[in-house]
A and B are shown apart, each in its own frame.
Chain A
Amino acid sequence: MRSTAFKLLGLIVLLLVGRFTLAQQPLTIDITKGIQGSGIPIAIAPFGGGAPEDIAGIIAADLQRTGKIAPQPPGTRTDYSVTGQAQSGGARGYIVQFQLAGVQGAPLLNLSFDVPPNQLRPVAHRISDLIYEKLTGEKGLAGTRIAYIAGGGGSWYLVVADADGQNPRVILRSGQPLMSPAWSPDGGKLAYVSFEGRRPQIIVQDVYSGARRVVSAAPGINGAPSWSPNGQRLAFTLSKDGNPEIYALDLATQNPVRLTSSSAIDTEPVWLPDGSIVFTSDRGGSPQLYQIGPGGGAAQRLTFEGDYNARPTVSPDGRYIAMVHRRGGRFHIAVLDLQTRQFRVLTSGGLDESPSFAPNGKMIIYSNGQRLTAVSLDGSVKQDFTLRGNGRDPVWAPYGR
């Protein structure tokens, strides 16, 4: 009944609007600027076979939100086309099979999957990524996930959702504020700050078992956890010695080592792939980004544009640092290229905060204080995530599990 209604609605949308985005999907995509118009045109035919998910619709939405591929209604003349079937059968419940054809029908991909019914959405995302990778040469993001904080005012939630904003899972709810989630490099754990007991502490939660471990509950601030590239250490902020300083904790020995020493605010540490740490400090009078070596030592200032650069986040290859940048009283997401030292403002600004790189390094998700948005590293593609309620502190999960 439900699936029939969905298919009917999908058909109506296809016929009337000529787009694949279904009306009931909570995600809306707003591509402000496409690359070369609206990307590589591709025709995607509805999948036959009667599966309870609109596989073609999911693929089309995934590809459209990349900003680099432009799904077209079936029948449109395009160089690339996707056809497929999702039929009950196989050992697990459904056989999903698809073909990507290139110019004049040349076969580029032809694959099939044997999946249980609850894996139909993930397999559609997998197909999206296979098509994206084939056409662009870049790794796709459709099969990845995000975490964010929702709620406020009495109930706070740590939510893990698919990269399209669908399938939200509340892995933690609390009567006190939650903030600053950070994925472990293997994607199996989240570190975050919880104010349960009316005091801040840093907790590591296993995403799959729900088990939690308090890793820091020192007097004062326990904030801004960040995983080392090998996942064995956590950097964070403690103010137990009087003012906020950066510490690194070996998770096996539980022994925090202090890395900074200034009378100013030092916070928001993140690791570069080489083990050095970038953080926010107002030691120069205004918040700016600084870098220290793996063991601390003299800090080198990285940002010089304007009087507010904070909350750094590092691209997976270590080349770019995205941050919160204030100019003209508005907060923007900006990016610093560590190779060329070029500084670029990516967003039009407002209350933009909490940037986080996608695992392919091509997109940056952030919050405008209320909602989640993503912008491409070159500023050319924008995606809005329409979640249930508000969302903030988004973090894109690494590739992996």
Chain B
Amino acid sequence: MQHITRNLIAAAALALLAGCASTGDTTGQDQTGTQQDATTEQGITAQPGQDAYSYPYGQAPSQYDTYDTTGGTAGGQAGGGRPGQAVAGGGSAVSADRIVYFSFDSAEILPESQAIISKNARVLTGNTRIITQLEGHTDERGSREYNIALGERRANAVRQAMIAMGVSPQQIRVVSYGEERPAAAGQSEQSYALNRRVEIVY
């Protein structure tokens, strides 16, 4: 019993490591080989397989960290958050001058976002070796996969604006997280507004 608990703690620690470092250690004894049949495009961070650990059903652990996005308490290390407050480990630590916000159900670039987009576009045109990843996000309302599509539509809107400002398409990658990585917890309009965003990551 005791060593099972110890393994679980080790597993949780590994999971945390994997969550923090995109080039997480893959020496977990439980890791099953990931077979990569499909060709994978070079990403800006880790290759597939480095963040995830699979288990045969018969040997799979029954414990996992709990996580609460209601703005209440959170178990484990995951961290919850108050409404309108940043979620620990949820959104990435992108500074405010690299976040473009959107209206509900919209991928339209708001006038107040032009300054942020052009400032980042200038950085990219000034140094063409920089590759940026535009990460699109939505609030949690509605279907999860449809939100992935909406998040991509937002990221593509920022991409088009940057290209119009002279940034090379080769410098821009787009990924949508939909509602899977909220910046703010809770079901308030304030949280929703903070979550409808594109993060300009480079």
Inter-chain CA distance A308–B146, complex, in Å, is 11
Instruction: Return the CB mask of B56-71 against A: 1 if under 8 Å, else 0.
Output: 1111111111111110
Determine the residue in chain B with the shortest Cβ distance to A219: B41
Return the contact of A209 from the options B53, B56, B66 (Cβ within 8 A).
B56
Q: Provide the residues of chain A in CB contact with B24, threshold 8 Å.
A: 175
In this complex, the interface size class of chain A, counting residues with CB under 8 Å from chain B, is 35 or more
Instruction: Return the CB mask of A277-316 against B: 1 if under 8 Å, else 0.
Output: 0001000000100000000000000000000101100000
Chain B proximity of A364: nearest CB distance (Å):
15
CB–CB B50/A197 < 8 A: yes
Return the contact of A310 from the options B146, B152, B174 (Cβ within 8 A).
B146
> Which residues between 167 and 199 of chain A lie within 8 Å of chain B, taking CB atoms?
167-177, 179-180, 194-199
> Which residues between 375 and 396 of chain A lie within 8 Å of chain B, taking CB atoms?
388-390, 392-393
CB–CB A171/B145 < 8 A: no
Inter-chain CA distance A173–B24, complex, in Å, is 13
Chain A proximity of B180: nearest CB distance (Å):
4
Stretch at the interface among B74-82, B95-103, B115-123, B124-132: B74-82
In this complex, the interface size class of chain B, counting residues with CB under 8 Å from chain A, is 35 or more
Is A97 located at the chain interface by the 8 A CB criterion? no
Return the contact of A175 from the options B19, B39, B68 (Cβ within 8 A).
B19
Is A207 located at the chain interface by the 8 A CB criterion? yes
Is A370 located at the chain interface by the 8 A CB criterion? yes
Q: Provide the residues of chain A in CB contact with B80, threshold 8 Å.
A: 153
Instruction: Return the CB mask of B121-162 against A: 1 if under 8 Å, else 0.
Output: 000000000000100000011111110111011000000000
Determine the residue in chain A with the shortest Cβ distance to B36: A214
Q: Provide the residues of chain A in CB contact with B15, threshold 8 Å.
A: 154-155, 173-175
Inter-chain CA distance A390–B74, complex, in Å, is 10
Return the contact of A389 from the options B17, B44, B65, B153 (Cβ within 8 A).
B65
Give the top 6 A-B pairs by smallest Cβ distance, nearest first: A389-B66, A154-B89, A175-B18, A175-B19, A169-B60, A177-B180
Chain A residues in the interface with B (C-beta under 8 A): 150-155, 157, 159-160, 167-177, 179-180, 194-201, 205, 207-221, 223-224, 237, 239, 244, 254, 265, 267-268, 280, 287, 308, 310-311, 324, 326, 331, 351, 353-354, 369-370, 388-390, 392-393
Offer 13 A-B interface pairs, CB within 8 angstroms, sorted by A. A150-B67, A155-B65, A155-B77, A169-B57, A174-B53, A209-B56, A221-B148, A267-B149, A311-B143, A388-B64, A388-B66, A389-B66, A390-B67
Chain B residues in the interface with A (C-beta under 8 A): 11-12, 15-20, 22, 24, 32-41, 43-70, 74-80, 87-90, 133, 140-146, 148-150, 152-153, 174-178, 180-181, 187
